[in-house]
Amino acid sequence: MQEQEKMNVRVRFAPSPTGPLHIGGVRTALYNYLFAKKSGGTFILRVEDTDQNRYVEGAEQYIKDSLEWLGLVPDEGPGYGGEFGPYRQSERKGLYAQYAEELVVKGHAYYAFDTPEELAKMRSDQEALGFHSAKYDLRTRSMMRNSLTLSEDEVKQLKEKGENVIIRLKMPENEIVAFKDMVREDVQFNTNELDDKVILKADGMPTYHLANIVDDHLMEITHVIRGEEWLSSTAHHVLMYKFLDWTPPTFTHLPLILKPTGKGKLSKRDGAKFGFPVFPMEWDAGDEIYAGFKEDGYDAKALLNFLVLLGWNPGNDEEILSMDKMIEYFSLEKIVKSGARFDFEKANWFNQQYIMAKSDEELLSELMPFISHATKQNFDQIYLLKVVGLMKERLQKFTDFNDAANLFFEAPSTYDEKQVKKRYSSELDANFNTLKMLAEQSDFSSEQLSGAIKSYLNDNGLKMGVYLPLLRIMMCGSLTGPDLFDIMSLLGKDEVVSRWDKAIDAFGKLVEA
Ligand code: GLU
């Protein structure tokens, strides 16, 4: 067993509440959760809300609701208890400055006082000299107003004045920062390429980088599992751990989730563009509502099954993976390097598999929120259960139910005109009358109905391919739906007769027209 599995594993999912949780974030949460459960460890939710400008009301609640809907319930986190809290960084703000100052004292960070105008000027001056996208770094810092270039007195005065006082990390010159990533293996950065990141802002709040490593340290996080976009920040993080004499956690950076076309990163706009959700739950952004898997009728477990395979595989052919199986098979070593294509058809396929595997009772209870009020009022549980039984194999999503099963709740109001014209003429009426009579005389079980109708057609040399499709159109309005005789049996004698009469009437009018 790997060493990490013997230690007390603590992982965190650390979203910033800047909007709804993107599906990539859900996958990050899932992998953290699976790794924690696999190792008997702890799954922590930490809310990284130090950037007040990007804070979005309701986003934290949305994140929690989504995790709970998916069953990825944190062991520790805001509202979940735990001894390492508070778990919201805004509630820990007094804690970070001391570490930034410690870094200054140790010579690994410095105060900077540049105004936004001065920073902009530096960038344009550098641009003019041919240095594109110039950064505040070991080349430019000597041209700026900071505690490395100003006298002690000046620094003291500027600090007292308190305008634009920030702390920046001081990148050492020409050093290799090397760390091991579970996916990317040996990663190296040269400090010459890294900027002097701000770690403490003018409002006294830490930036992501400082808060992130301080909290990972204080919360005794053993493994950081996060999106690939954070890989380059990791060099800064590893250096800060070193400067503070702390042991860094093990890093795992997850591959990107790509658009269905396989080209480019999946974005929040792709949902509307390609016609599928990219958020776990619906999110009202004010000017726009983003669709959610939950409201669009996806089963939470099917969604997790779909997501777990975006960037990881169990190393065998199994595709349908229960939560227990996912936990059993999960390992960081099996995460792949290349981006994973968001194949939406696959999400539908998984959902269908999960729907089919449910008992009728279970499926009905999950369908309840999607079934219209009128249907719930007009039809009892026993009837609904039978409808569910007949429709189970025909649903990809819970939301398909209302339309697909409507034939059980309402007589058709229109009929497939093309099909009717192709097959019907009033000469068939006499036979239809006999068939109706035979149906009425049967006990209305699917078998008896089928037996009575089919043997009459056979015995009289009448074409199944004419009468049966028409009969289906009488009952359903179109040629779709489950077995015709199952439908008739469930609708019951009165309803069948009434639909029959109404349809023959309508068919007559259609062919006359
Ligand atoms: N707050 C960061 C985010 O929103 C966390 C990144 C990390 O896990 O370190 O993704």
Model confidence pLDDT, tens digit, residues 380-438: 999 999 999 999 999 999 999 999 999 999 999 999 999 999 999 999 999 999 999 99
Residue 161 has pLDDT above 50, yes or no: yes
Q: Confirm if 20 and 266 have CB atoms less than 8 A apart.
A: no
pLDDT in tens, 209-266: 999 999 999 999 999 999 999 999 999 999 999 999 999 999 999 999 999 999 999 9
How far is the CA of 467 from the CAs of 266, 395, 458, 470, 500, in angstroms? 50, 27, 11, 5, 13
Residue 5 has pLDDT above 70, yes or no: no
Q: Is the CB of 14 inside a 6 Å radius of any atom of ligand 1?
A: yes
Please state the rounded mean pLDDT for residues 19-47.
97
SS3 of 371, please?
coil
**223-227 and 289-290 beta bridge pairing:** unpaired
Q: Is the CB of 246 inside a 6 Å radius of any atom of ligand 1?
A: no
Residue 6 has pLDDT above 60, yes or no: no
Return the CATH number of the domain spanning residue range 269-357.
Answer: 1.10.1160.10
Instruction: Supply the residue whose CA is at minimum distance from atom 3 of ligand 1.
Output: 15
- Enter the pTM of the model: 0.93
C-alpha 304 to ligand 1 mean position (Å): 20
Residue 399 makes CB contacts below 8 A (sequence gap 6+) with: 296, 297, 370
**Residues with catalytic annotation?**
268
pLDDT in the model for residue 229: 94
Please state the rounded mean pLDDT for residues 54-72.
96
Q: Is the CB of 230 inside a 6 Å radius of any atom of ligand 1?
A: yes
SS3 of 12, please?
strand
Residue 85 makes CB contacts below 8 A (sequence gap 6+) with: 76, 78, 91
pLDDT in the model for residue 272: 85
C-alpha 13 to ligand 1 mean position (Å): 8
How far is the CA of 264 from the CAs of 23, 258, 339, in angstroms? 15, 6, 9
Q: Is the CB of 49 inside a 6 Å radius of any atom of ligand 1?
A: no
| Among 27, 212, 223, 232, residue to substitute to test ligand 1 (most atoms within 8 Å of Cβ) | 212
Residue 243 makes CB contacts below 8 A (sequence gap 6+) with: 103, 106, 108, 109
SS3 of 403, please?
helix
pLDDT in the model for residue 271: 87
Residue 88 has pLDDT above 70, yes or no: yes
What is the helix (H) or strand (E) element at residue 378, kind and residue range?
Answer: helix 373-378
Looking at the CA of residue 208, tell me the nearest atom of ligand 1. Answer: 1
Lowest mean pLDDT of 1-15, 41-55, 57-71, 373-387, name the range. 1-15
Q: Is the CB of 352 inside a 6 Å radius of any atom of ligand 1?
A: no
Give 451-507 as a DSSP string: HHHHHHHHHTT--HHHHHHHHHHHHHSSS-SS-HHHHHHHH-HHHHHHHHHHHHHHH
Residue 174 has pLDDT above 60, yes or no: yes
Residue 3 has pLDDT above 60, yes or no: no
Please state the rounded mean pLDDT for residues 88-106.
97
SS3 of 300, please?
helix
Q: Where are the domains of the chain?
A: 2-77+212-256, 93-200, 269-357, 360-397, 417-512
> How far is Cα 407 from Cα 419, in angstroms, rounded to an integer?
18
Residue 21 has pLDDT above 90, yes or no: yes
Backbone angles phi, psi at 229, to 5 degrees: -65, -15
What is the helix (H) or strand (E) element at residue 189, kind and residue range?
Answer: strand 185-190
| Among 10, 11, 13, 16, residue to substitute to test ligand 1 (most atoms within 8 Å of Cβ) | 16
State the CATH architecture for 417-512: Orthogonal Bundle (1.10)
**CATH of 93-200 given 3.40.50.360, 3.90.800.10, 3.30.300.180, 3.30.70.260:** 3.90.800.10
| Among 47, 197, 208, residue to substitute to test ligand 1 (most atoms within 8 Å of Cβ) | 208
Residue 2 has pLDDT above 70, yes or no: no
Residue 23 has pLDDT above 70, yes or no: yes
Looking at the CA of residue 226, tell me the nearest atom of ligand 1. Answer: 8
Single out the residue of 117, 104, 207 nearest to residue 148, CA to CA.
104
Number of H helices, E strands in the chain: 21, 13
Residue 1 has pLDDT above 50, yes or no: no
Identical fold between 2-77+212-256 and 93-200: no
Residue 113 makes CB contacts below 8 A (sequence gap 6+) with: 145, 146, 150, 158, 163, 164, 165, 166
Q: What is the DSSP letter of 190?
A: E
The two three-digit tokens of residue 437, written as one number: 């009579």
Lowest mean pLDDT of 13-17, 252-256, 271-275, 325-329, name the range. 271-275
Lowest mean pLDDT of 123-127, 265-269, 389-393, 478-482, name the range. 265-269
pLDDT in the model for residue 513: 78
**340-341 and 257-258 beta bridge pairing:** parallel
Please determine, looking at this structure, whether the domain spanning 2-77+212-256 carries the CATH number 3.40.30.10: no
The two three-digit tokens of residue 125, written as one number: 């001056």
pLDDT in the model for residue 274: 87
Per-residue buried b or exposed e for 223-244, using 16+ beta carbons within 10 Å of the residue's own CB: bbbbbbebbebbbbbbbbbebe
Q: Tell me the pLDDT of the chain averaged across its residues.
A: 96
| Torsion over CA: 87, 90, 95, 101 (sign) | positive
